């Protein structure tokens, strides 16, 4: 790829990244319509346009067939293609193929979206890292932080665009507070990767500090745990590589701990002072959300045992999850979510429950919809069967192997991806967050393929 085309292509990738993060649909009033629905056509359109641009360059007067014959696909590419292909096959065999392909209405991350994210990662892996791409990541982090701070204080500039009766905290451009924690988990240690061959200047600390501040305000346990583990890994890695100042990881750890203890209280006080609606937060000491997850994971395992080859398809868990548990387990899950005592009558059918308080005749009802099993591995086994889970492990193993071909640089790749990987052990893929993760995986693979020297990287970062 020649230098002039590489610059144009990289800038196009940077602009697409900003558009993907900051886009809000101009129509609809509900959360899925505003934020989620617009992502699939944007991703598929981006994959098509960027693929055509890339193909036009790499062929350079040759036929595409001749270029494909001469190329040697990497094992990582083949593993990603096999995993994405199996997700589509699983969707075709699902009892609810429509949702499995395109996703359920309230989340919309089906197998087509998953394949689109894999394709985006592949496209970004073919372009060298340039300053516009780094600037796009820094700008998006700043925008998300500003919106998060305002929303945590009760000032909601996007309220006119994003409304939902279930949302007390619109979570900027992501959709929900816990998912916002995942977004900031992705961005928290990415600066360490980009600065791995460069002194940690003011820009680095502003970038990382902004991500830490957003993470602290999101109060998402899995995301916070992932970043804390990542910082400890950086501390150990830096002792070995000595690429950064000895105290830099410890300073980052202190900065995060300070943000976790100080910022939520500051914004709560500002909310009271300004007499604004309080933002929804979660106590790190609470185990309320862990107990329901254990039952969801059991339901997913039961589902995988029933359909071990093809699974049930993406985003169908809400419609089968309670039926995959025993009656006692399903009722316990409803009671845990609703906070009902054990002696209060409760009936259910699918994800709909009916209950009556003691001494009352009126029956109330509602629905509890779990889009996925709240664990990426359990959900993979449920959605794509044990075959899909095996292909995912093969893809991840080849990614790790590819990372370590670049010696210590590979350790920085795994360091940067650790927080969101930990987060996914308690959550799931989301249209407004996960595409960024796949894009960054592609960018990191591109960096590992590049022969850039520290001086060249300085031009990118500076």
Percent of the chain with pLDDT over 90: 56
Query: For residue 436, what pLDDT is reported?
Result: 95
Q: What backbone torsions phi and psi does residue 74 show, to the nearest 5 degrees?
A: -75, 155
Q: What is the pLDDT of residue 165?
A: 54
Phi/psi region, residue 2 (left: phi>0; alpha: psi -120 to 50; beta: rest), is beta
- Tokens representing residue 243 in the block: 């690429």
User: Burial, 312: exposed, middle or buried (Cβ in 10 Å; 0-12, 13-18, 19+)?
Assistant: buried
- % of the chain at pLDDT higher than 70: 90
Give yes or no for residue 216 having a pLDDT over 80. Answer: yes
Residue 2 clears pLDDT 80, i.e. is over it: no
Band of the pLDDT at 225, cuts 50, 70, 90? Answer: very high
Give me 189's structure tokens.
Answer: 């240690």
DSSP-assigned beta bridge partners for residue 354: 347, 365
Average pLDDT over residues 22-50: 86
Q: Phi, psi at residue 353, to the nearest 5°?
A: -120, 155
Q: Which residues contact 349 (CB under 8 A, 6 or more apart)?
A: none
181 pLDDT band, cuts 50/70/90, is very high
CA distance readout (Å), 84 to 40, 81, 104, 114, 411 = 16, 5, 19, 7, 26
Q: Which of 49-58, 194-203, 279-288, 361-370 has the highest mean pLDDT?
A: 194-203
The whole-chain average pLDDT of the chain stands at 87
- Render pLDDT for 399-457 as a digit per residue (tens, 0 to 9): 888 887 766 688 899 999 999 999 999 999 999 999 999 999 999 888 887 744 444 44
Would you give the DSSP letter of residue 35?
I
Alpha helices in 287-430 (DSSP H): 290-306, 317-320, 327-338, 376-404, 408-423
Question: Residue 164 pLDDT > 90, yes or no?
Answer: no
Q: Give the highest mean pLDDT range of 356-360, 363-367, 371-375.
A: 371-375
CA distance 444 to 8: 19
pLDDT band (50, 70, 90) for residue 268: confident
Q: Euclidean distance between the first and final Cα of the chain, in Å?
A: 24
Q: Which two tokens stand for residue 348?
A: 């259910």
Average pLDDT over residues 251-268: 94
pTM of structure: 0.91
pLDDT-derived band of residue 21, with 50, 70 and 90 as boundaries?
very high
Summarize the confidence of residues 288-295 as an average pLDDT: 87
């Amino acid at each position: 790829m020649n230098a002039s085309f590489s610059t144009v292509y990289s800038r196009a990738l940077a602009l697409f990244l900003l558009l993907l993060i900051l886009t809000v649909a101009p129509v609809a009033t509900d959360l899925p319509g505003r934020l989620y629905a617009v992502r699939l056509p944007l991703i598929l359109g981006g994959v098509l346009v960027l693929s055509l641009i890339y193909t036009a360059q790499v062929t350079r007067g040759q036929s595409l067939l001749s270029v494909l014959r001469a190329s040697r696909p990497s094992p990582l590419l083949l593993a990603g293609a096999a995993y994405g292909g199996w997700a589509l096959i699983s969707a075709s065999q699902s009892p609810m193929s429509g949702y499995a392909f395109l996703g359920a209405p309230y989340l919309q991350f089906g197998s087509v979206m998953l394949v689109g994210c894999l394709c985006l990662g592949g496209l970004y892996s073919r372009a060298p890292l340039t300053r516009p791409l780094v600037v796009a990541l820094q700008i998006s982090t700043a925008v998300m932080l500003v919106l998060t701070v305002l929303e945590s204080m009760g000032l909601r500039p996007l309220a006119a665009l994003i409304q939902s009766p279930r949302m007390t905290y619109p979570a900027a451009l992501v959709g929900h507070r816990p998912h916002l924690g995942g977004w900031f988990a992705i961005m928290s240690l990415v600066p360490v990767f980009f600065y791995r061959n460069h002194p940690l200047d003011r820009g680095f600390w502003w970038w990382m500090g902004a991500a830490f501040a957003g993470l602290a305000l999101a109060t998402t346990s899995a995301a916070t745990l992932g970043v804390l583990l990542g910082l400890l890994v950086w501390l150990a890695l830096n002792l070995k590589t000595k690429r950064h100042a000895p105290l830099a990881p410890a300073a980052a750890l202190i900065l995060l701990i300070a943000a976790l203890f100080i910022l939520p209280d500051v914004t709560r006080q500002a909310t009271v002072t300004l007499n604004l609606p309080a933002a929804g937060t979660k106590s790190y000491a609470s185990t309320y959300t862990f107990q329901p997850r254990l039952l969801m994971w059991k339901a997913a395992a039961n589902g995988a045992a029933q359909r071990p080859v093809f699974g049930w398809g993406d985003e169908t868990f809400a419609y089968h999850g309670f039926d995959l548990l025993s009656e006692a387990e399903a009722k316990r899950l409803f009671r845990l979510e609703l906070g009902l005592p054990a002696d209060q009558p409760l009936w259910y059918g699918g994800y709909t429950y009916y209950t009556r308080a003691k001494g009352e005749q009126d029956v109330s009802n509602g629905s509890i919809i779990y889009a996925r099993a709240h664990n990426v591995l359990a959900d993979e086994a449920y959605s794509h069967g044990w075959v899909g889970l095996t292909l995912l492990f093969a893809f991840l193993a080849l990614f790790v192997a590819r990372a370590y071909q670049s010696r210590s640089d590979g350790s920085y790749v795994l360091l940067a991806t650790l927080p969101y990987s930990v987060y996914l052990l308690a959550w799931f893929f989301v249209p407004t967050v996960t595409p960024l993760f796949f894009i960054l995986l592609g960018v990191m693979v591109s960096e590992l393929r590049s022969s850039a020297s520290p001086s060249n990287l300085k031009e990118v970062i500076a």
